Amino acid sequence: MASVILETGCFQSECGQECLPSGSGALLILEKTMRKKGRMPIAFICVLQNAPRPAEDLWRKWFRERALACCERGSASRCVDAVLTDFVECFKEQFAGEPGNCGLVSLAALFIMETECFYAWRGEADIRLINDCFGRIHMRRLAPWSATLGCRRARLEPGVRVLLGSAAFFDCLPEPLLKDCLAVRGAGGENRAARCLEEAAREAQRRGAGGFAAAVVAAEPEQHAEFGELLERSGYGDAKPVGSGAFGRVYRVRKRQGKQCFACKLAEGPKARALLRREAGLQSALTHPLFVRYAGLEDGKDVTALFMEYVRGRDLDEILRRGELPWNRAVEIARQLAEGLSYLHERDDPVIYRDLKPCNIRVGPKGNVKLLDLGCACGVSEAGYTMAGSRGYAAPEQLGSQNREGSGPVYRTRCGTGSDIYAWGRVLEEMLGGRQKVPSLMPLIEECTREDPRQRPQRMRDVLRELEKF
């Protein structure tokens, strides 16, 4: 279970009408409360540009009178749906008479109840989704320019932060100051976040931007009370959430002696803990460089923690989004994956990875490749017809699909090593996509991604042999 940490920092330009064109400043609205029934945190953050002061009063009144009335009872998801509908109606009421795009009021808003939320945007105001993953900042824009109101429902995932502000603020925001804003956590965080954002806004002013408004909102996992004791007993500390694995949350921790960083996956509940122990047993037996090194397993009364190698670098999905991967580099990454999967498949007790996809593949600074998550891996003998994997990469048999060969009968097939070969082909295809493909590689990709597993290559070693020709 995750909860929204309502530590928000903000800066509002004090220039106003004296140094900015009329109405060009940015206004920030921050409203926070707690629903009495169920103790659910509720927050509304809104950045307005080119808006008169009455607009600020209207949205504050909307939150206190109309939005909170929608949140009196029911689940967080149903309440947020109701608030979203009312938000759109209120927006139409407020701006019904606005003439076209002239004097366009820009808006970036985020309404959150527990971890359910919606975000809305219009014009030049901006919303960024930020993930500080293993010490690297990943930022994605959620609000493209729009003359009409855009709204989207979402859920705040643990370890992710949302930063709202004027477009001018983001254009001038230096990354070191952004990291300072994101580093704010714990007691007194709101005041420190405000100071960091104020410093960032002053830097943006020095770079020539006009008015500012910004706020940071975080969703963090509720740390189990026993986790701190378990870390202390194991000689670790300084736990920072960095994401989630197949069956547990992932933290970056440091050894108290030596200060070396490790990754720690934490599981709660009997089923998740049993799966994590199984993952630890498999990880401890692997010696191939494609897989992260095992560092230890600690069992508490209610939680289990798996400690493993901390891997620096970037996830393959981030590299692909930035379009930075030449075809020869794609072939090298595919080669390392094929070698590691071949090792996995040819063990005395063969294992299927079952969840090969770009976000599970990390590319290190020197080009070395690692697979980060063994949560879905299992022995060939226990795979059977169980559903596992991610759509877009998982083979049809992993998702419970019934395959059809031409006009013949429908048949079902067991998950096996051919399922990893299918996912490997999909990943290679994506790495080569959007560019002039290597024609001689296409037949190999097509063979690996055939729907019928009987028509795919039967061994990863055979695939590797073909790949090594390039």
Domains and CATH numbers, the chain: 2-221 (3.60.40.10), 225-309 (3.30.200.20), 314-467 (1.10.510.10)
Look up residue 160 and give its two tokens. Answer: 């992710």
Look up residue 297 and give its two tokens. Answer: 């397993």
Strand order in the sheet with 369-371: 314-315, 361-363, 369-371
DSSP states along 364-395: -TTS-EEE---TT-EEHHHHTT---S-TTTS-
Query: What's the start-to-end Cα distance of the chain, in Å?
Result: 47
- pLDDT value at residue 179: 63
- pLDDT value at residue 23: 39
Which residue type, as a one-letter code, is found at position 354? Answer: R
- pLDDT value at residue 384: 57
Cα separation, 198 vs 215, whole angstroms: 10
Residue in the structure block whose two tokens are 């949205």: 59
- pLDDT value at residue 439: 74
Q: Within 10 A of 68 (CB to CB), how many other CB atoms are there?
A: 17
- pLDDT value at residue 361: 94
- pLDDT value at residue 239: 84
Look up residue 144 and give its two tokens. Answer: 């493209």
- pLDDT value at residue 469: 81
Q: Average pLDDT of each block of 10 consecutive residues along the chain (470 residues)?
A: 40 34 61 78 85 83 93 89 94 69 74 88 83 60 84 79 77 66 49 64 68 65 73 87 68 86 90 91 94 93 92 87 82 95 93 91 92 86 65 81 45 75 93 68 91 90 88
Q: Which candidate, 51, 44, 45, 48, places its Cα nearest to that of 66?
A: 44
- pLDDT value at residue 218: 65
Angle formed at CA 271 by CA 269 and CA 274, multiple of 5 degrees = 105
- pLDDT value at residue 8: 44
- pLDDT value at residue 247: 64
Look up residue 310 and give its two tokens. Answer: 């901390």
